[in-house]
A and B are shown apart, each in its own frame.
Chain A
């Protein structure tokens, strides 16, 4: 079943057009990777889905219903949670409060509780009373992921969770992915790190300059196809 779909999605920042008719789908239980160079429009795509950037012409569908004109809080309450680019923890909140706030409005029953998140990222249990922003980058990323999980989302959107982190830290964070997948959420991972993205994804989209340039199963896609889609023919 298709949970999420964009149809000819366009997005603008003032006069500047960042997306030119993007079509992507996400099925129940599936993990999809969206890769692309810096500025390709990946974050803009996620912002359009979450309602931070609004569009009004039925270009984003959740379970077949148009959600593009809904405010972000309404979209989130439908079960679409976001791990935003740059983690965006709340500086005034402790680690535990950052986690709790993720699940305080949408209180869906499901596998994710405070304890389950602490089991997924045990270091956070130790640091539960520290201000979220006092943690290392990798730990902050764990909080951002846990915060999104706390609402037991049907769809989890992850924007560059490896950005700016050391390889060993990225490995730790990606080690949690199988358990998140197993909990039932459909996942979109946006990445510049192609290898990481392909390691967890069922399907992959590549974006370039606001357009989807490749759509393929992750297991069989060739390096050449990705290279062309990522950098363009001229590269």
Chain B
């Protein structure tokens, strides 16, 4: 009985990790760019939401709705004016630039908000739970998981049902030939990063409502996101969800045995999957 509860909590936790990972997966899938500042951007967005809720006294969901287009704009500009210049055959320059950005974001947030722990106030939602018969789950984890699924469905709809998604996939396949179709690859990259930042904002909303955060915790979120993406197989969003769930379940089971083992158990699960399936659970057919 306790195990069923542990597994269910782990699955729901996986939804949060999938949210962390979806933006990373999107950007990597389209432009083979590994954004080392991804975790810090989540924390940045969490502070942005906090700032909006605090100053205007808004509901955090509405605050995220305001933050999302701002984050889109920031992502678009970052790609357009910085990252596009360093993208190329050599993968090292974009890694260095995003690493630098990660450090700069952490220090900037520390300067602006201090090292104190913060939390986005979510009101009664924070402790509300629902009895599902065999297990009782919190509304917040449930909502997080449902949001992760909605985000993945939404991104897949964009990818496979719209002209923009067609341009994403074509540019990812072959940017030179895409330009012969009238598509500006660098413009597509900027939109993709903007979209990833919208997903980052959603991830930040749940991160900030569920637990305390401070400027230093970005890199650890990046690691969870990485692990989820790699377990899932690069480029598959449903795979990313599966990866998030595997890490989530490993963590809650580890914690059930010994609370100190929570984080370690997630990393061990990642290593085991990597040993058995080096290309992840659902590798893309074409690569």
The digit string for B152-186, where 1 denotes a CB below 8 A from any CB of A, is 00000000000100110110111011111111100
Residues of chain A at interface, number, CB under 8 A: 26
CB-based contact A84/B169 at 8 Å:
no
Separation of A166 and B127 alpha carbons in the complex (Å): 70
B286, CB-defined interface residue at 8 Å: yes
- Residues 56 to 96 of chain B near chain A (Cβ within 8 Å): none
CB-based contact A101/B180 at 8 Å:
no
A61, CB-defined interface residue at 8 Å: no
Known contacts A92-B172, A97-B166, A104-B163: A71-B177 contact under CB 8 Å: no
CB-based contact A90/B169 at 8 Å:
yes
Known contacts A97-B166, A100-B166: A84-B172 contact under CB 8 Å: no
Q: How far apart are B177's CB and chain A's nearest CB, in angstroms?
A: 4
Separation of A81 and B179 alpha carbons in the complex (Å): 11
CB-based contact A101/B166 at 8 Å:
yes
Across the interface, which residues of A come within 8 angstroms of B181, CB to CB?
Answer: 73, 76, 101-102, 104-105, 147, 151
CB-based contact B182/A106 at 8 Å:
yes
Across the interface, which residues of B come within 8 angstroms of A97, CB to CB?
Answer: 166
With most chain A CB atoms within 10 A of its CB, the pick from B163, B170, B181 is B181
Interface of chain B: mostly helix, strand, loop or mixed: helix
Separation of A73 and B182 alpha carbons in the complex (Å): 4
Separation of A180 and B270 alpha carbons in the complex (Å): 55
Known contacts A77-B182, A101-B181, A102-B181: A72-B176 contact under CB 8 Å: yes
Known contacts A97-B166, A104-B166: A90-B173 contact under CB 8 Å: yes
A207, CB-defined interface residue at 8 Å: no
CB-based contact B182/A71 at 8 Å:
no
CB-based contact A73/B166 at 8 Å:
no
Q: How far apart are A151's CB and chain B's nearest CB, in angstroms?
A: 7
Q: How far apart are A209's CB and chain B's nearest CB, in angstroms?
A: 25
Separation of A77 and B179 alpha carbons in the complex (Å): 10
CB-based contact B182/A90 at 8 Å:
no
CB-based contact B174/A151 at 8 Å:
no
CB-based contact B180/A50 at 8 Å:
yes
With most chain B CB atoms within 10 A of its CB, the pick from A71, A91, A106, A133 is A91
Task: Name 22 A/B residue pairs within 8 A (Cβ), A-sorted.
Answer: A51-B179, A52-B176, A72-B180, A73-B181, A76-B180, A76-B181, A84-B180, A88-B180, A90-B177, A91-B173, A92-B173, A92-B286, A93-B169, A97-B166, A101-B163, A101-B166, A102-B181, A104-B163, A104-B181, A105-B182, A147-B181, A151-B181
A-side residues, CB < 8 A to B, are 50-52, 71-73, 76-77, 81-82, 84, 88, 90-93, 97, 100-102, 104-106, 133, 147, 151
Knowing that A84-B177, A93-B173 are A-B contacts, what are 16 other residue pairs whose CB atoms are under 8 Å apart, sorted by A's residue number? A50-B180, A72-B176, A84-B180, A88-B174, A90-B174, A90-B177, A91-B286, A92-B169, A93-B170, A97-B166, A100-B163, A102-B181, A104-B167, A105-B182, A133-B286, A151-B182
